Amino acid sequence: MTAGKFEIKAYPEMWKDLDMDVERFDKMRLMLGDIYEKTYLSQKNRPSGMAYFDNMIAEIHGGRIKELLAAKKEGKPVIGTFCVYIPEEIVLAAGGVCVGLCGGSQGSVPDAEKILPRNICPMVKSAFGFKAGRICPYFQAVDLVYGETTCDAKKKTWEILDNMVSTYVMEIPQMKKQTDQDMWLAEVKEFKTKVESLAGKEVMLEELNRAVKTMNNKRKALQRINMLRHTNPTPISGKDVLLIEQIAFYDEPVRFTEKVGELCDELEQRIQDGVAVPGKNAARVMVAGVPMALPNWKLHNLVEGAGAVIVNEESCIGTRYYKDLMDEDGEDIETILQNLTRRYMQIDCSCFTPNNERIDQVLKEYRESDAHGIIHYSLQFCHTYNVEEIRIREACEKENIPYMFIESDYSPEDVGQLQTRVEAFLEQISG
Amino acid sequence: MTAGKFEIKAYPEMWKDLDMDVERFDKMRLMLGDIYEKTYLSQKNRPSGMAYFDNMIAEIHGGRIKELLAAKKEGKPVIGTFCVYIPEEIVLAAGGVCVGLCGGSQGSVPDAEKILPRNICPMVKSAFGFKAGRICPYFQAVDLVYGETTCDAKKKTWEILDNMVSTYVMEIPQMKKQTDQDMWLAEVKEFKTKVESLAGKEVMLEELNRAVKTMNNKRKALQRINMLRHTNPTPISGKDVLLIEQIAFYDEPVRFTEKVGELCDELEQRIQDGVAVPGKNAARVMVAGVPMALPNWKLHNLVEGAGAVIVNEESCIGTRYYKDLMDEDGEDIETILQNLTRRYMQIDCSCFTPNNERIDQVLKEYRESDAHGIIHYSLQFCHTYNVEEIRIREACEKENIPYMFIESDYSPEDVGQLQTRVEAFLEQISG
């Protein structure tokens, strides 16, 4: 992989069959390959277990899409998502596949801005633009997009997206009272019915219990790698862990879990051997806030490019996805759905009010990751995270935790300014 | 009122007792008086019944506040609100008072921007800034602020506002399924308990039924004036009706209903006598979208300054507040609360997904108001209305309704540009 130029593999015939804008997409493929090579393959002393994940990127527009299409051919539902709120257990139990959809790139934003307001979240615009421009093979391959009501921009954009691709919306509560739990249990049951109708079969108890185990194992593997990276000095770069957290949303879960496990074994050996990735005195940064969808490596690139290392992502593409397990071996389907509801209601998304659990969780992860400071990262116009940021900042001030807030988008325009701010912050926490 | 200079009356002693920034507030009072005089009193041929509402403005910082303080002295709860979702019937039945809070002025925005993100809705910033700067006597006088979860910016801002004034948040559903109705009924009951604890008394059946009638009568009066203004040519300016819709949020409801009724009698006479406010061939504009909180008269001023007339406000400060009545004479409290829940779940706020009812309602009001075109007015960064605007526009295109979209804030900066656009639109619909 490291020898010669890195290239994301091209499958123009398949893309054509998927009704994609092949010519335009092929240019994006080459650009992404270049960025990946510069951002990832230039890193020194990477664990050899990263080769699998490099290959997942090389095959992001091909190998994985083939697997999805093969699943579809067998009548298995393929569901595209953007949110940690999708009850993946139910999709897996029905034999289906969940895949995160494209939404992390500036390239598709202008397509969205022809229709959507400009002053909404870049992730929502990017995702919408990928579908509008027919430049995301995942969007083209899915049977259904799973939407939810976690923020105003997404909630209302599903109504417009539904004209281009069938979009199913689950209502996510905004508080955590008993009535909210009841409402969400009803939503989970309705979703199960929807998935069963797509799969043409009912979900059985055994399948559901197996799916719960599969998801728990995946979460445990991610918890393990996150725990290992917390070691000081850390055996793996923040960029690499972020990549794994991103790939978690589109890889096949059993294989992914196995590969993360193998990498963890290697990291344990590294820790034993004293092999570390950054310099011994590298500043350790924890990131909190909004998810960084593939290929949004902007902040990690800046921080690690300046010689520091990121040791935790408190985010949906990060710990929020895997911190909570659910009870296994439910005796009947009703019990499992109740357990599942309870598990998903633990998610401390900023869509909740109040969301005190998240403040506590940020402080907990800060201590566990042995970080020197926190960067709260938000996307522009993300009202819930941007207002909640006030409370995170106050909590950090109270605990004397060095803190910086960054609000950014996907464009390269603010990179210079961010670099100056990041370097000043690193200077402060290294001192 | 029209003789001599219009002035909003000053009550510096009372303001001091309310812990206000008296010096600063007094300057704002003078400015508001000037703007009111220019915007309202310069109008020709106004109905004489507007004198009452002019006086409500003259006493906005005094007479009405005195009434609130007198109610408080008697142990009656005074609750500040921003949203048509507050079940006012419950507050009235408990002997309490609902008042809309300040939130329509650029003057308080910089106070908010010291704490809140700049890129959120100007109404939320303005309201927060009025409390932070201690420059709204209503904010200073209320026992409680009623918050809700209709948008991300408000939902999360309540958490911060609660540090300055006790803020109670009701969860508003995002869909209209049975589970949402159930959840909202539970919220209504919890709110009733809260109001009862503030009032120190339980709400009785008779009081609740009386409150339902009071609110229905108020809504009927507003429906009546809106129906009368739909007459072509219209007997009252859009500015004046907007003012009445704004005052509806802070006046005492029985008196207000009576005064609107008297004005309606006068308007009926005017219609009979052929007395019209704008020129005979004035372009008739319907406004749809976000609420225009007092003193946000920006768009009305532009449209009517250009010789056209606004004949309908499809907005929370407008028809959304009064279009739905509720069943009267409930046999028991449970039945009334269920009727109330059903009534409030008819509100077609853009917080719902999907919100097809609103599309239909906009078209219905357009036909009823005999308008020549629709201006959809949104506030900056209001994601729900700004994305829903796409669907309103499509519906108007389909029906061949002349349509314009304006996204604005409270600053005067875009007035020149808006004027050009508004005039071009009026040209188009007059042709």
**Same domain flag for A178 and A292:** no
- Cis geometry, peptide bond prior to residue A412 (ω within 30 degrees of 0): no
Look up the CATH number of the domain holding residue A163.
3.40.50.11890
Show the tokens assigned to B78.
């005074």
Rounded to the nearest angstrom, the minimum Cα separation between B187 and chain A is 9
Residues of B whose CB is below 8 A from A120: 383, 386-387
ipTM for the predicted complex: 0.96
Q: Is pTM beyond 0.95 here?
A: yes
Q: How far apart are the first and last CA of chain B?
A: 38
**Same domain flag for B262 and B305:** yes
**Same domain flag for A46 and A193:** yes
Phi, psi at A176, each rounded to 5°: -125, 40
Domain count, chain A: 2
**Same domain flag for B213 and B137:** no
Positions in chain A short of pLDDT 70: 1-4, 431
Residue A30 in domain: yes
In chain A, % helix, strand, coil (3-state, to 5) comes to 55, 10, 35
Residue B151 in domain: yes
Look up the CATH number of the domain holding residue A227.
3.40.50.11900
Mean pLDDT along residues B102-114? 97
**Same domain flag for B213 and B158:** no
Cβ separation A159–B388 shorter than 8 A: yes
Q: Provide the pLDDT for residue B5.
A: 82
Give the count of beta carbons closer than 10 Å to the beta carbon of residue B200. 11
Q: Provide the pLDDT for residue A279.
A: 77
Distance CA B392, CA B373 (A): 13
Q: DSSP labels for A283-347?
A: -EEEEEES---TT--HHHHHHHHTT-EEEEEESTTTHHHHS-----S-SSHHHHHHHHHHHHTT-
Residue B16 in domain: yes
Interval A61-93: pLDDT, tens: 999 999 999 999 999 999 999 899 999 999 999
Give the count of beta carbons closer than 10 Å to the beta carbon of residue B250. 23
Residues of A whose CB is below 8 A from B383: 117, 120, 151-153, 156, 381, 383
Give residues with Cβ within 8 angstroms of A98, minimum separation 6. A79, A80, A81, A86, A88, A91, A92, A146, A249
**Same domain flag for A155 and A183:** yes
Which domain, by its residues, includes A218? 209-235+251-325+350-430
Map residue A430 onto helix, strand or coil: helix
Interval A287-342: pLDDT, tens: 999 999 999 999 999 999 999 999 999 999 999 999 999 999 999 999 999 999 99
Say if CB B299 and CB B312 are below 8 A apart.
no
Give residues with Cβ within 8 angstroms of B263, minimum separation 6. B47, B49, B50, B52, B225, B236, B244
Residue A360 in domain: yes
Cβ separation B353–A386 shorter than 8 A: no
Residue B246 in domain: no
Chain B residue set in contact with A, beta carbons under 8 Å: 115-117, 119-120, 149, 151-153, 155-160, 169, 171, 173-175, 177, 179-180, 182-183, 186-187, 350-351, 353-355, 380-381, 383-384, 386-391, 407
Map residue B188 onto helix, strand or coil: helix
Show the tokens assigned to B238.
């859009």
Interval A363-379: pLDDT, tens: 999 999 999 999 999 99
